Amino acid sequence: MEKKKIVVCDHLHKKAQEILSKESDIEYVDASEVPKGEPLYEVIKDADVIITRSSTPVDRELLEHAKKLKAIVRAGVGVDNVDIEECSRRGIIVMNVPTANTIAAVELTFAHMLACMRAFPYAHNQLKLERIWKREAWIGNELKGKKLGIIGFGNIGSRVGKRALAFEMDVITYDPYIPPEKATNLGVKYTSNFDDILNCDIITIHTPKNKETINMIDKEEIAKMKDGVVLINCARGGLYNEEALYEGLKSGKVKFAGIDVFAKEPATDNKLLELDNVTVTPHLGANTEESQEKIAEGAASEALEAARGISYPNALNLPIKEDEMPPFVKPYLELTQKMGFLAAQVNKGAFKSIKVIAEGEISDYLKSLVTFAVVGALKESLGESINYVNAEFVAKERGIDIFSKKEPELSGYKNKVTVKLTTDKDVVEISGTIFEESVQRIVDINRFAIDVEPRGKMILFKNTDVPGVIGDVGKILAKHNINIADFRLGRDEHGFALAVIIVDDDVSKEVLDELKNLEACISVAYAIL
């Protein structure tokens, strides 16, 4: 089997190498020290997937040299260095890792907020660098009782809100893209009037950078603010108009600003640095050990799934109108594709039909769910030739019936998706849902209630529910030096059990045959997600 090539173009935490280098079907190349331009182009010419940070411009010139490229993973949130339009034109899927740095960005926001309120860096410098002890020069303000306005209440903004409540602040948010109860359920006030935010003591912004948000805070907005307002930006450079911010700080209208990101970086000559009422950091939002490890782990996992054609987590340019869908939909699309792929590996045979059943609000997006399910199911047999555009056409061409159905919310889950794959040999039905923070879970396999993350190397072992089976399975795996990472068990009322065993190592036919020969065994399947 030809190995898929994944090239890491920029420096990542060692966790990425640990994950990618141990996969037997992957050729891993660390090109972080390779000079940009022609030397890098030579390395990526036959890459299936590349992982970048901000140092590698993924432009038309680079893409011209990457003839086999199927996907790009941006290890982080921002994709300013990636020409997404050109990637889309070439059929290259672009993904990012949007949540790995969440806590780091939240905590940096508070670092700047506290530093601004207490002028901490200036007091520190006066004592440490100038050796002056002058307490009366540094009379600050407390966070308690101050009104905090949060622009954008997503992963980061909502966590800023929760922590601000612990400081006993009066918190209000403006975000036209969330239901108000997302804020009010946390105890945060919600407003649809942007002027309510401009009337706060402290304002922090946590939005993406787009046409709507560039210069969102400009001269006109600053004029409406309270005298002595404190402004924080640890999101993206350019959300505050820097010229207007400079004038506001210089005049004293803005008492202090905490800035981690700039319109142009590196920002070593930015005139905001001239002022004595601004705290600055060089884009450190993701710079924690924990965050860097999570980013590397997320990027490596996404690259593996993309290289294997399993799914494209956090894809930014899939051929569906994701910008018209609520954020909760995307994880269900990814999960549905994985369930289709798993079903095809478990139920090998000539496909007769694929059915997608949805309950809850997610059922409004059945058409897209069907597309992803079909891509997942056919990927096992058709590989790279199947995609989101031709999936249903190819299925019908092969005589595969496609069905979809909405069901009432009777399972106890707010939203649930089921993929039912029928072949000439068997029927397999897999259900899944998404828990908080986009956590994907398979919750049912052929009527066996189970709770397992759809990821990694999986053994599905069905058996008569008698004593000693788990021990026998463990002995066989141990004999072949196969480490068990997770073991989930479902049982039914007919005296049968289904184990889903996640392992760290490849499972050979010899191992599967030994498992099949156990007296209690009914069936064994092996799948890789």
Rg (CA), the chain: 26
Where among 437, 453, 469 does a domain terminate? 453
Q: Of the given ranges (26-40, 146-160, 255-269, 368-382), which has the lowest mean pLDDT?
A: 368-382
Instruction: Identify which of 128, 97, 70 has the alpha carbon closest to the alpha carbon of residue 308.
Output: 70
Q: How confident is the model at residue 320 (pLDDT cuts 50, 70, 90)?
A: low
Residue 240 lies in a domain: yes
Mean pLDDT for 374-394 is: 75
- Is residue 123 domain-shared with residue 137, that is, in the same domain? yes
Residue 127 lies in a domain: yes
The pTM (predicted TM-score) of the whole model is: 0.64
- Predicted pLDDT of residue 324: 64
d(CA 353, CA 395): 9
Q: How confident is the model at residue 100 (pLDDT cuts 50, 70, 90)?
A: confident
- Predicted pLDDT of residue 209: 81
Told to judge if 236 belongs to the known catalytic residues of this protein, a careful annotator would answer yes
- Is residue 217 domain-shared with residue 234, that is, in the same domain? yes
223-277: per-residue pLDDT in tens? Answer: 999 999 999 999 999 999 999 999 999 999 999 999 999 999 899 999 999 999 9
- Is residue 138 domain-shared with residue 266, that is, in the same domain? yes
- Is residue 127 domain-shared with residue 221, that is, in the same domain? yes
Q: Of the given ranges (14-18, 106-110, 307-311, 487-491), which has the lowest mean pLDDT?
A: 307-311
Q: How confident is the model at residue 321 (pLDDT cuts 50, 70, 90)?
A: low
Where among 453, 484, 504 does a domain terminate? 453
Q: How many CB atoms lie within 10 A of CB 477?
A: 20
- Is residue 140 domain-shared with residue 176, that is, in the same domain? yes
Across the chain, what does the average pLDDT equal? Answer: 92
- Which CATH number covers residue 143? 3.40.50.720
Where among 453, 481, 515 does a domain terminate? 453
The active-site residue out of 61, 265, 407, 519 is 265
List residues bridging with 203 in a β-sheet: 149, 231
Residue 313 lies in a domain: no
The active-site residue out of 53, 112, 206, 236 is 236
CA dihedral 42, 43, 49, 53 (to 10 degrees): -100
Q: Of the given ranges (24-33, 273-282, 380-389, 456-465), which has the lowest mean pLDDT?
A: 380-389
Residue 312 lies in a domain: no
- Is residue 161 domain-shared with residue 71, that is, in the same domain? no
- Is residue 157 domain-shared with residue 12, that is, in the same domain? no
pLDDT at 502 over 80: yes
Cβ atoms 285, 261 nearer than 8 A = yes
Residue 421's domain spans which residues? 318-453
Total domains in the chain come to 4
Q: Of the given ranges (15-24, 139-148, 404-413), which has the lowest mean pLDDT?
A: 404-413
Residue 31 DSSP SS3: coil
Told to judge if 118 belongs to the known catalytic residues of this protein, a careful annotator would answer no
The active-site residue out of 53, 74, 159, 283 is 283
419-443: per-residue pLDDT in tens? Answer: 999 998 899 999 999 997 689 999 9
Q: Can the peptide bond before residue 282 be classed as cis, meaning omega within 30 degrees of 0?
A: no
Told to judge if 494 belongs to the known catalytic residues of this protein, a careful annotator would answer no
**Counting beta carbons within 10 angstroms of the beta carbon of residue 134, is it exposed (0 to 12), middle (13 to 18) or buried (19 or more)?**
exposed
